[in-house]
Structure 1
Amino acid sequence: MPELNVMSEPSVRPPMTTGTGKPLSVTALRKTYGGVTAVDEVSMEIAAGEFVTFLGSSGSGKTTTLMMIAGFCEPDSGSIVVGGRDVTRLAPQKRGLGFVFQQYLLFPHMSVWENVAFPLQLRGVPKAELRRRVGETLEMAGLSAMSRRRPRELSGGQQQRVALCRALVYRPPVILMDEPLGALDKKLRDQLQTEIKRIQRELGLTVIYVTHDQEEALVLSDRIAVMRDGRIDQFDTPQELFERPRTPFVADFLGAANFLPGRVEEQTADHTLVRLDSGGLLKARPQPAPPPPPQAASRSASQAARVRAAVQPGRLALCPPEHGFCTGTVEAVTYVGTLVRATVRPLGGAPGDLVRLELPAGHAPALGERVGVTAAPANVSVFPDVVPDTESGG
């Protein structure tokens, strides 16, 4: 393939056009492979300029949903509308969407400049406009000084930025990203997360991002679709997902919550009071009485009333033993930099009961110390007594 003669850059460039993203609507999307349902009636509305992440374990349906939006996989039923245009049955190249893969897929014989210019050349963009767009895109990503280098002369992070620029340069209505930072080390991944979010906000891009990394999803997203078994368990803002999970799976997947078994002892407009099996009283935020699990119909009324209170390790605190919702003994303390992870075995609890806490590094308890554990009611959720299926949607 001949090289592009576009190496000279203009000395002054106008700012990039902002607000290029368009809304996207997915309705009742379904995909099966043989007798296995990979995506099951997924629906969502994504606003123009919104950063949405599909979060889930391997096999949860997140990548299959992304592939159907991209056009690489045809749905059995349902519709995909981008900016008011139905693209459900269009070939990928006719949808005009940008795609960033985990593998960089750069042309090794082309320079950075030529790799980024390639999509514009395919679209017949005039040379002057091509130079302007490539130049400003590389400058925005901090790659102008590397424009003449070949991919082999770049680090992994630089190559991924080139791949991002190639997807951005023709101003697609939606950018799709399939775990683009998965192959990078944590420090570089954190840096690129910041860059991706900055670019997305600056240009008003609509981004759909796939990851299994909970922290990455929380950092990047305006909203997150937590997926399991081909369905969306909850589609919400990061704060709402973390602070007010609607299902035990979301509470456990997005933070590994403690699940404390007990019964609802009191319901008021101000709080829900749970009598834990270990004997203590735990106050949760006010909420409707949790519905009994499906199998509870055959149980006694007292059995059907059982619940699990869920609270994240970082939302727990230590207190004097007599003041906590549980009293226990510190069994483990692990230093992990800015915080310590502690494990407390409640007195009077079942043999397998453990409470996990994350505490500031300067507030580590001593091994064997008797402590109380407390939590603010606003940080406690209550669910029917169903063991969270952390392996589902794998």
Structure 2
Amino acid sequence: MPETDVMPSLTVPETLTGSGKPLSVTRLRKTYGGVTAVDEVSMEIAAGEFVTFLGSSGSGKTTTLMMIAGFCEPDSGSVVVGGRDVTRLAPQKRGLGFVFQQYLLFPHMTVWENVAFPLQLRGVPKAELRRRVGETLEMAGLSAMARRRPRELSGGQQQRVALCRALVYRPPVILMDEPLGALDKKLRDQLQTEIKRIQRELGLTVIYVTHDQEEALVLSDRIAVMRDGRIDQFDTPQELFERPRTLFVADFLGAANFLPGHCEQQASGHTLVRLDTGGLLKARPQPVPEGARVRAAVQPGRITLCPPGEGFCTGTVETVTYVGTLVRITVRSEGSADAAPVRLELPAGRAPATGERVGLTADPDNVSVFPDTEGEG
């Protein structure tokens, strides 16, 4: 097989562009002994959408992906791809693409042969096989490495080969299980950009599993935040970050400050919270009754400084930590010695000094309010 015979420029095949078909998951459930790993998970994923399952270990994200892939049989529920029920089909009969954290490349084969292998299994004619492999390698910037074997490649290059092998036979959906987890941060960031570029250019439908919040925010059109086998919230990155529906989501995506108090007033266009430290914090409208115990959630990056005596809190700067483009600060409120310090993030160069007295404020639209009975999850 002449590995040098590649296309001089990338022409995205019409059958690949927009080839992602909708995927429907309905009430998937999986138990192991007396433990429920996935509990009645349902979702609709549109063609060309990049969806991420995000959660900590044991949240059910990987088990859900394995049931979609066919490597794990659900106790109940269904998986439908492109209108076809594949719930009881073997993995190889579902026609889905897989990219895992372990690259699983054949060490004795060249890059070209690794990428061509799925097409050979499917009996694709040689001329079509050569065209598809050439286009796919060029798209991933691997044409010059077609003759190399996996041991001659870096970790990032090997992961790109694994991605090409999943793309080359044009599956309707590509499943990725923490594919960048073994790479260092710089390389991971680079490959995130490559994966998103390829996904957008080809209109691929991707389901991606990660425990990395930043990675999920960067890559996804929508994110399913999972906890204890269920989806806490399935939404766009912006909605999840700016308008979390639960304390767990607010804490998991960005480690919000949780400020205890009670709902003092429900007014037109806002909810007013009297904090336990004595300050008044205005939040966007929330369906909590006046007088109820609540926690106001606000991300560190959404709090700004103001003169002492103004805003929702006045306190003393306890710590200032430089982290590159940002400075992380903690402020101890004057209203209560027992209250947790408020955390905020400011651009480098704008930080107050340790021991300085400051006020804190926040835009009401960036403040969420939750009943205190929910707990932090």
- Equivalent residue for 1:211? 210
Distance 2:375 2:337 in 1: 18
- Write the distance in 2 (CA, Å) between the matches of 1:351 and 1:75: 48
Query: How far apart in 2 are the matches of 1:6 and 1:85?
Result: 38
Alpha-carbon distance between aligned partners in 1 of 2:61 and 2:252, rounded to the nearest angstrom: 15
Q: Superposition RMSD on alpha carbons, in Å?
A: 1.3
State the one-letter code of the partner of 1:7: E
Q: CA deviation at 1:348?
A: 1.7
- How many residue pairs get matched? 374
The answer as to 2:6 corresponding to 1:7 is no
Q: Work out the CA distance in 1 between the residues paired with 2:350 and 2:182.
A: 35
Q: Scaled by the length of structure 2, what TM-score is found? A: 0.97
Identify the residue that residue 16 of structure 1 maps to in structure 2. Answer: 13
The code of the aligned residue for 2:359 comes to G
Measure how far apart 1:205 and its partner are. 0.5
Q: In the alignment, is residue 71 of structure 1 matched against residue 70 of structure 2?
A: yes
**Is the CA contact (8 Å cut-off) linking 1:252 and 1:388 kept in structure 2?**
no
The Cα shift of 1:52 comes to 0.1
Q: Which residue of 1 aligns with 2:365?
A: 378
Q: Which residue of 1 aligns with 2:122?
A: 123
* Counterpart among 348, 352, 362 of residue 335 in structure 2: 348
Note if contact 2:7-2:134 (Cα within 8 Å) is conserved in structure 1. no
Distance 1:11 1:307 in 2: 61
Contact 1:245–1:381 (CA under 8 A) maintained in structure 2: yes
In 1, distance between residues paired with 2:261 and 2:192? 40
Give the residue type in structure 2 aligned to 1:9. D
Task: Tell me the CA shift for residue 6 of structure 1.
Answer: 4.2
1:260-279 matches, cutoff 5 A: 260-279=259-278
User: Identity rate of aligned residues, in percent?
Assistant: 86
Task: Report the AA paired with residue 332 of structure 1.
Answer: T
Deviations along 1:269-314, one digit per CA (max 9) or x if unpaired, are 2111000000000000122226xxxxxxxxxx95xx1000000000
* C-alpha displacement of 1:351: 1.7
Match of 1:152 in 2: 151
Q: After superposition, what is the alpha-carbon deviation per residue over 1:100-146, rounded to whole angstroms, capped at 9, x for unaligned? A: 00001100010000000000000000000000000000000000000
User: What SS does structure 2 have at the residue aligned with 1:345?
Assistant: strand
- Residues of 1 paired with 2:375 and 2:251: CA distance? 7
Matched, 1:169 2:168: yes
Deviations 1:131-166 (A, max 9, x none): 000000000000000010010110000000000000
Deviation at 1:56, TM superposition (A): 0.1
Gap regions ≥5 residues in structure 2: none
> How far 1:10 moved relative to its partner?
4.3
User: How far did 1:268 drift?
Assistant: 1.6
Structure 2: distance between partners of 1:11 and 1:171: 18
Aligned residue for 1:351, secondary structure, equals: coil
Q: Which amino acid aligns with 1:385?
A: D
